[in-house]
Amino acid sequence: MRELQALVRRLESLVEMRVAEENRFSSGISTAAVRHSLEAHSAYLIEQIKQTEAAIQTHINNDSDRKEQSDLLDSMPGIGATTAALLLAEIVNIKEYKSARQVAAYAGLVPRERRSGTSVRGRVQLSKIGNARLGKALYFPAITALRCSNFFRRMGGWLADARQM
């Protein structure tokens, strides 16, 4: 599990570096030497990303339990191979949790209500406590689920109605 976690975290770092280089490149660099350096470094990062993704896939494929879990996660709308690998790496043993609510709390995806006495109430927000990588990784799959799944679309409508109350 530590190896998978290290690979997934390395992939995350490589993607962040590639995005930073692309942002620098699109900022209007006029010096040819700098532009060439950015292009070369970006190409190197893309190759490293491909190698790391392949290493992650090999690592998952070599363990039949992880492979089965990865395939199950990958079958969900919005969850791809990268997100599945991150979930497997960050939630070390799903069987340790007694409920989905405990997993949601670990990911920092449970609501936190702000109150001050009986009269002042703030908006309900997601808790900041929890594994930030999981929360970040599940954001776009949640958006996809709301858009593509009738069940989640109905749930999203219910939540919007509850907020208006």
C-beta of residue 85 within 8 angstroms of C-beta of residue 134: no
Report the pLDDT value the prediction gives residue 114, as an integer from 0 to 100.
Answer: 66
pLDDT number for residue 121: 63
As a whole number of angstroms, the distance between CA 131 and CA 156 comes to: 24
Is position 103 within any domain?
Answer: no
Grouped pLDDT means (10 residues each) for the chain, 165 residues:
93 95 86 92 97 96 92 85 90 83 80 64 70 82 75 61 45
Looking at the structure of the chain, the number of domains it has is 1
Q: Which of 42, 36, 35 lies closest to 17 in space, CA to CA?
A: 42
**Beta bridge mates, 13:** none
Is the Cβ–Cβ distance between 8 and 89 less than 8 Å? yes
Question: Domain containing 149: what range?
Answer: 2-96+131-164
3-state DSSP of 34-46: HHHHHHHHHHHHH
pLDDT of residue 162: 43
